[in-house]
Structure 1
Amino acid sequence: MKQKLLALAAAVSLIAGVTVQAADTVKIGLMAPLTGSWASEGQGMKKIVELLAEQQNAKGGVLGKQIEVITEDDGGDPRTASLAAQRLTTKGVAAVVGTYGSSVTEASQAIYDEAKIPQIANGSTAIRLTEKGFKHFFRTAPRDDEQGRMAAQTIGKLGFKKVAILHDSTSYAKGLADESNALLKKKGTEVVFFDALTPGERDYTTILTKLKGANPDVVLFTGYFPEAGLLLRQKKDMNWKVPFIGGDATNNADLVKIAGKEAAEGYYFLSPPQPQDLDTADAKAFLDGYQKKYNELPPSIWAVLAGDGFKVMVAGIAGAKSTDSGKIADYLHKDFKGYSGLSGAISFDAKGDREGEVYRVYKVDGEGKFVLQKL
């Protein structure tokens, strides 16, 4: 009996110790593709969030406590993402930042909503993500219908009359392709090709040959940067000089590494502002700090938008004066207006979508740099 009592006392002491320890910090989860084809995005997200947490902790943290970032790798895969989300729901996080891909975010949404944990995605632009009525879901990224309008507008301004649309069947790419297709046809632009490739393949000459046969003035590719880079490289190998325009998921420095500078030159893409084009004092100070710590700039704006997600959640906890998830979500929906983020002013509508126009047009120059266009 004495041994049982001692064991029970030890267990109670351990549980109490864990509770006290958990109460010593405010935990914010980060779900990111640290491995897989989008690893450069995920690693950038992790670096930014950790740097911002370090800076916030130096200022006293939030609610008088230090912030602890709990990171899970979603691998850029919906199946891995659901497991990562389930793990984060068991670790006492007050909120979750991430993730990058729309289909990956979609696999985690219901899990966080059921656990009543606010989630703020950074690269997930698919329209349907905020059409489900999840109270705890937000995003710092804009929606694809806004991007679709920008794509149709840009194609018109550049004078292209015949458009081929290529997607990869993911939630993001298919949604953007459908939206752009409808808007282009409404404007009277001829869509001469609409089909999908299979992401992750190494040879796209077959689909490129089909595209070439449709004789478009321009190809709108709505998939991600690894495939875009291969398409540009293999298009050059075919000596096919038709211009390509990409969606915001092609905004990554690895696009040029995969394609090569010569093949990437002239490529257009739509995106929120590049990190180097962020012009607020806060953004410039942050980028200086990031470069000093990591000796590089962030890989893309999507990693910066994860940083904005972290800042939003910290502001939400401070504004709600609580780590209660319901109170944080209520505060972000009702009282969080015009917050000065790294990427500009941030507010949310009733669905959790970011308000305001964010997209810009970029073109890759001969040095492989992404240059902001004024069309």
Structure 2
Amino acid sequence: MTEVRMKRIVTLFFCLCLVAGMTAGCQKKAGEVIKIGVVGPMTGDQSRFGTDFKNGVTLATEQWNEKGGLLGKKIELVIGDDQHDPKQAVSVANKLINEGAAGIIGHFNSSCSIPASEVYNRASVPMISPASTNPELTQKGYKGTFRVCGRDDQQGGVAAAFVLSKLKLKKVAVIHDKTTYGQGLADEFKKALAGKVDVVYYGGIVQGDKDFKGVLTSIREKSPELIFFGGIYPEMGLLVRQAKELGLKAPFMSGDGSYAEEFVKIAGDQAAEGTFLTFTPDPNNIPDAKDFITKYNAKFGKEGPYSIYAFDAANIMFTAIRDANTTDGKTVIGKLHSTEFNGAMGKIKLNENGDVTAPPYVVWVTKNGKFVETWKP
């Protein structure tokens, strides 16, 4: 064998060993972590909520990893941006499954969570949404689909009860953004008022549009005592601001999708004054939330409306995996259904459908640019 040929063989052998070592190293790395997907609108006009998700889950993950992680492995987050688009949500869901995610925290929008839940269900991977409120999400019979928020039939009922018992109104207008969440919430509100209050206007706008003066002019002619909007804060802010510009005196009311500081920034303090919103009670008044608030504020600054939901959702997922002593989806799903969890929002029990057993909703009002809790049923 010539010296040149011998050198080539040695070089080839060295390269093969190097590749084999790199492959083994990659496999070892993948086996040393437990991947958890975090999905929501990370970019675009609803990124406020995606940031809440990411930060809340990150805080929970760091706390678990400091104590050794899960099953002797570190937790690794895989962030997915669904851009609040249903098609993108399905694409991201498939990507997370292919990357080996053992559980999912997400999505935000019901229109994204519902189709994505079909992907996770086929793979037997549990998902917990911190924010999707449309009832259909947990009515499809998927055992691995959960949420830690309430439902629109509950939220719409609380909003209607406030209109009936506190405001004692007779005429309202109802607008929605034609999305699964927005129209669903508007319909539940309208249903709860049936036969008790005259709905003088009911119609939809297109999410992403900027000019709503045509719709608002039609509503002004009906002289409602309140305008209810089912949708998200970007459109809510514009509706409230433009209504003020048109001289409408009726206050606005909306749901948890509009509960964000950005709503007030878009509408302006003066126009937003007196707007009612349904959301959960103030975490600052919940004893179990104090530690979360202190640690979150120290790391990320002021918590967003869904930070605590994402934090609790992550802790519930991690606890279920720990108690199951495996990442096997079906086993983890069983633990999610059978365990009562101690969360920052208090005790959380998930029923056979995947809903929380005691979802609280209260009514907030905007005063001097801030949200103030004003009524509970």
In 2, are the aligned partners of 1:273 and 1:343 still within 8 Å (CA)? Answer: no
In 1, are the aligned partners of 2:114 and 2:136 still within 8 Å (CA)? Answer: no
Aligned with residue 85 of structure 1, among 82, 85, 93: 93
Q: Give the C-alpha shift of residue 227 in structure 1.
A: 0.6
**Alpha-carbon separation, structure 1, partners of 2:93 and 2:20:** 28
**Alpha-carbon separation, structure 1, partners of 2:26 and 2:118:** 28
- Aligned-pair identity (%): 36
- Report the residue type matching 1:311 in the other structure: N
Aligned with residue 299 of structure 2, among 293, 297, 308: 293
**Alpha-carbon separation, structure 1, partners of 2:13 and 2:95:** 32
Q: Give the C-alpha shift of residue 22 in structure 1.
A: 1.5
Q: Give the C-alpha shift of residue 280 in structure 1.
A: 2.0
**Alpha-carbon separation, structure 2, partners of 1:113 and 1:9:** 40
Q: Give the C-alpha shift of residue 159 in structure 1.
A: 1.1
Instruction: Indicate the residue corresponding to 2:5 in structure 1.
Output: none
| Greater Cα shift, 122-131 or 77-86 | 77-86
User: Which structure has the larger Rg?
Assistant: 2
Mapped pair 1:153 → 2:161: yes
**Alpha-carbon separation, structure 1, partners of 2:293 and 2:374:** 22
Q: Normalized against structure 1, the TM-score is what?
A: 0.93
Q: Give the C-alpha shift of residue 90 in structure 1.
A: 1.3
Gaps of 5+ in 1: none
**Alpha-carbon separation, structure 1, partners of 2:284 and 2:221:** 39
In 2, are the aligned partners of 1:168 and 1:196 still within 8 Å (CA)? Answer: yes
Aligned with residue 328 of structure 1, among 332, 349, 355: 332
**Alpha-carbon separation, structure 2, partners of 1:255 and 1:36:** 15
SS in 2 for 1:373: strand
**Alpha-carbon separation, structure 2, partners of 1:96 and 1:179:** 28
CA RMSD of aligned residues (A): 1.9
**Alpha-carbon separation, structure 1, partners of 2:101 and 2:12:** 33
In 1, are the aligned partners of 2:159 and 2:363 still within 8 Å (CA)? Answer: no
1:211-261 superposed Cα distances (whole Å, 9 cap, x missing partner):
111211111111111111111111111121111111111111100111111
1:213-292 mapped onto 2 (5 Å cutoff): 213-277=221-285, 279-281=286-288, 283-292=289-298
**Alpha-carbon separation, structure 1, partners of 2:310 and 2:41:** 12
In 2, are the aligned partners of 1:22 and 1:92 still within 8 Å (CA)? Answer: no
Instruction: Indicate the residue corresponding to 2:180 in structure 1.
Output: 171
Instruction: Indicate the residue corresponding to 1:318 in structure 2.
Output: 322
SS in 1 for 2:249: coil
Q: Give the C-alpha shift of residue 342 in structure 1.
A: 1.6
1:121-167 superposed Cα distances (whole Å, 9 cap, x missing partner):
11100011111111211011111111121111011121111111111
Q: Give the C-alpha shift of residue 15 in structure 1.
A: 4.5
Instruction: Indicate the residue corresponding to 2:141 in structure 1.
Output: 133
In 2, are the aligned partners of 1:168 and 1:198 still within 8 Å (CA)? Answer: yes
**Alpha-carbon separation, structure 1, partners of 2:179 and 2:375:** 30
Gaps of 5+ in 2: 1-8
Mapped pair 1:180 → 2:189: yes
Q: Normalized against structure 2, the TM-score is what?
A: 0.92
**Alpha-carbon separation, structure 2, partners of 1:304 and 1:218:** 31
Instruction: Indicate the residue corresponding to 2:213 in structure 1.
Output: 205
Instruction: Indicate the residue corresponding to 2:373 in structure 1.
Output: 372
Q: In the comparison of the two structures, how many residue pairs are matched?
A: 367
